Amino acid sequence: MYFKLRLIPTAVATLLVAACGGGGGGGSSAVASNPSIGVAVDGYLSGSAVYCDIGNTGVIDTVNDPVAYTQTNGKFVFPTGCTHQLLVSGGTSSDTGLSPVGVFTAPAGSKLVTPLTTLLAAGLSQSQLNTALNLPSGTDVTALDPAALDGSGNLINAALYKKTLTVQQLLLQTAQGLSSLGNSAGTTTANSLYAVAASALAKTVVGGTPLLSSDTSVNPDAVGAMLQNAVSAASTSTQVDSGVKSALAGFSPAAVAAAAGPAYVGQANALLGSGSQGSAVGTVAAKQQSSTFVSNVLGDATNKQLLLTSTAAASSTLAALGNSVASADATGTTTLDTVLANFEESSPLLTGTFYAGADIVAAPASGGSGKVLQISRGNGANYAGGWVNTEKAIAFTSARKTLSAQVYSPAAGIPMPLHVDALGAPHTIYTADTQANETVVKGWQTLTWTISDADLTKAYQSIVLTPNLGTTAPAAGEIYYYDNFVLKTDAPPIVATHYLKLTNEGDGKNDTFTLANGSTSTKFSMAQFQSSAGISTSWPLASNATLSFSLSNVGGFTLSAGQKVDAALQISQVGTGTGVLKAYVQNVALSQSGNNLTVTVPVSNSNATAYASSATSSFAAIVDYSASSAAGGVTSTLNLAGNNTFNLGNVVNYAANSLSSQFSGINALTGTFQVTLVVTGLPLYQASGVIYPTMTINVPTSLTSARTVQSTVPITGQGIVGYVTLTP
């Protein structure tokens, strides 16, 4: 789930620089005498943290668990070995360019860590997994690399890889959907719900229920059962934040499965049918994994009412919602049409006729799907037709007055009007006849009608159909078919309903910040910061320099208890120089109380390092802040409903002074610098609603005797790149 957390990059920079004073160091106890080598796959994962779960808790312990990092080919090494289960978090997929959702797990001794090994860790045996996924007998997912390519770029184990991605798609979408229903954001919630989803899927298939109907299609019943198991488990799981559990407890598992299941099935089928070329599969995976439409639909306040236990009996309405969500997701639209009648309802819709025959019948071979409405005209009538009562009132709005339907006509060019009535007879509330917007052809087509005279104060619930109105029907009669009546969505698209947005200058669209540096106050926008021209400020910063911006909490944004983030900063000279500064901090805690979001740098158990290289690349130095207590325990509080001001001068100067003993003249810097900021654990969106791209900053943590980089820590997350010019 991608709630829109629109934090500004400079606030993240402040968090980072202020954080350069954490403590202790992330566990390094040896657990074996021989190295352990493996590969992490959701596409090969680069820059992922791989933890050796020495406590066998199934939960990452950044203090005590030894950690290794994956290379671009997904490989990782524990030099002293690991004889415990493995936990993989973060990084970037080489196939999708995305950071994976959830923590992947693998049993002790596994050479692979993938979504499939996660199911083994959740309780499935290898034989049970093979049965569920229709894998060849003897397949060992802990040893067989699903992403391996031959020399032509074709997947060597294409079926296994696509099934691996299919499982990941179901688990990540379930985690994001439940996060949305729980009004929460961040990796803490997503990771806990991902684990719940993995257990729910294992529970669904453990008895022999196949997840796949074939190698190219997923089993809809299994997907529905998994979703129901996940909703039930999430509302009681000890892994899930209490606020999220409380929110999820009110929803009907069957209703959530009906609303989301069809779209999840469609996404999985797209992956299973994506061919054997590695690049083609990666393209499909990127599209499916980045889709947030279903979770946004589930988070919509109106849709949530349908998913409550008290209204879960409205099965046909839920089925219509599920089909509409699946259709919109498959076509890549951001709007959700309302299905009024598709004639698959569990209780057939009432119909009536005048001078004609009308019935719900099986769709003819020529088109339609499932059941359709048939209207037969005959006996020489020139005004004949029928009507269908929709299950609920048609929710017209000033921007939503268009109906659509699939229609079969035996001839081209005939009149095809309809109008809408109130429910019941005689019909005393109605609109005028409206002709279809399209010219009628022979056979099936989709027609639309814009009901311009719909009275928004009236409750319309009946669609009256008079095909070939005004023309005498031939003695042999005429037969027309109708299917899938829909109220089209012309309103704004469905988007996430819980997020933070900037509200400077009254509208929150300009992303405007104010930097007060000495006697100069500069206002700049995100667009200016990200442009090649960038922004400029005098250097060094005044000790009382401040950065100001305002935030607005939309829809009751919340973070789960225990949410932590990592952050990294890279500053590189632009032009003739090659100087660079890199820094990172881990395990920064976030806590929320109402509209206050408190950021706390722990006194201990946080890694924080800064690295700098001179403009001529002739000198490099690393400052490890682990031994410093100057900034440990520092807290800052964001006001989520008003103005925020940070003392940027103090914290930036603190970092600069820490490096000044290594680099003379640091306070005399001039020129233009590219600034890259990366934050893990939180989805960062632009004000336009587009997520910032995934980036990795590799921060050096040790140097050789020749002052070259010996080891690095990759920090991967949503990244922002901008430019700053320093003037004397």
Residue 616 has pLDDT above 50, yes or no: yes
Q: How many CB atoms lie within 10 A of CB 273?
A: 12
For residues 347 and 341, give the distance between their C-alpha atoms in angstroms, rounded to a whole number. Answer: 11
Using pLDDT thresholds of 50, 70 and 90, give the confidence band for residue 311: low
Per-residue pLDDT of 470-516, as tens digits, reads: 888 887 788 999 988 988 876 556 666 566 676 654 444 456 788 89
What's the pLDDT score for residue 550? 78
Residue 42 has pLDDT above 50, yes or no: yes
Q: What percent of the chain has pLDDT over 90?
A: 42
Strand partners, 673: 573, 724
Q: Where are the domains of the chain?
A: 129-336, 351-487, 503-554+563-727
Per-residue pLDDT of 682-691, as tens digits, reads: 777 666 666 7
For residues 660 and 654, give the distance between their C-alpha atoms in angstroms, rounded to a whole number. Answer: 10
For residues 565 and 568, give the distance between their C-alpha atoms in angstroms, rounded to a whole number. Answer: 10
Residue 393 has pLDDT above 50, yes or no: yes
Q: At what angle do helices 253-272 and 315-331 cross, to 10 degrees?
A: 30
Q: Nearest to residue 193, comparing CAs of 231, 246, 147?
A: 231
Q: Provide the residue type at 129 as one letter.
A: L
What's the pLDDT score for residue 78? 95
Q: Residue 248: which residues within 8 A CB-CB, separation 6 or more?
A: 178, 181, 182, 231, 234, 235, 240
Using pLDDT thresholds of 50, 70 and 90, give the confidence band for residue 343: confident
Residue 499 phi/psi, 5-degree rounding, is -165, 170
> 87-101, 393-407, 638-652 — which is least confidently predicted?
638-652
Where is 193: in which H helix or E strand?
helix 187-205
For residues 688 and 510, give the distance between their C-alpha atoms in angstroms, rounded to a whole number. Answer: 10
For residues 319 and 344, give the distance between their C-alpha atoms in angstroms, rounded to a whole number. Answer: 9
Q: Output the pTM of the full model.
A: 0.78
The DSSP bridge pattern shows strands 558-559 and 546-554 to be: unpaired
Judge whether 362 and 369 are in contact, CB under 8 Å.
no
Per-residue pLDDT of 149-166, as tens digits, reads: 998 889 999 999 999 999
DSSP string, 356-367: EEEEEEEPPTTS
Using pLDDT thresholds of 50, 70 and 90, give the confidence band for residue 13: very low
Q: Which CATH number fits domain 351-487: 2.40.50.140, 3.40.50.1820, 3.90.1150.10, 2.60.120.260?
A: 2.60.120.260
> 194-208, 403-417, 680-694 — which is least confidently predicted?
680-694
Q: What is the DSSP letter of 641?
A: E
Burial state string for 439-467 with b = 16 or more CB within 10 A and e = fewer than 16: ebeeebbebebebeebeeebebbbbbbbb
What's the pLDDT score for residue 6? 41
Judge whether 208 and 131 are in contact, CB under 8 Å.
yes
For residues 465 and 386, give the distance between their C-alpha atoms in angstroms, rounded to a whole number. Answer: 5
DSSP string, 140-185: -TTTS-TT-B-TTSBBTTHHHHHHHHHHHHHHHHHHHHHHHHTTEE
Judge whether 444 and 408 are in contact, CB under 8 Å.
yes
Using pLDDT thresholds of 50, 70 and 90, give the confidence band for residue 179: very high
Q: Where are the alpha helices (DSSP H) in 408-538?
A: 526-530
* Burial of 55 (C-beta count, 10 Å sphere; 0-12/13-18/19+): exposed
Pairwise pLDDT comparison (176 vs 558), residue with the higher score: 176
| Cα radius of gyration (the chain) | 30
Per-residue pLDDT of 104-152, as tens digits, reads: 999 999 999 999 999 999 999 999 999 999 999 999 999 999 999 998 8
Per-residue pLDDT of 654-670, as tens digits, reads: 767 766 666 666 666 77
Residue 288 has pLDDT above 50, yes or no: yes
Pairwise pLDDT comparison (458 vs 200), residue with the higher score: 200
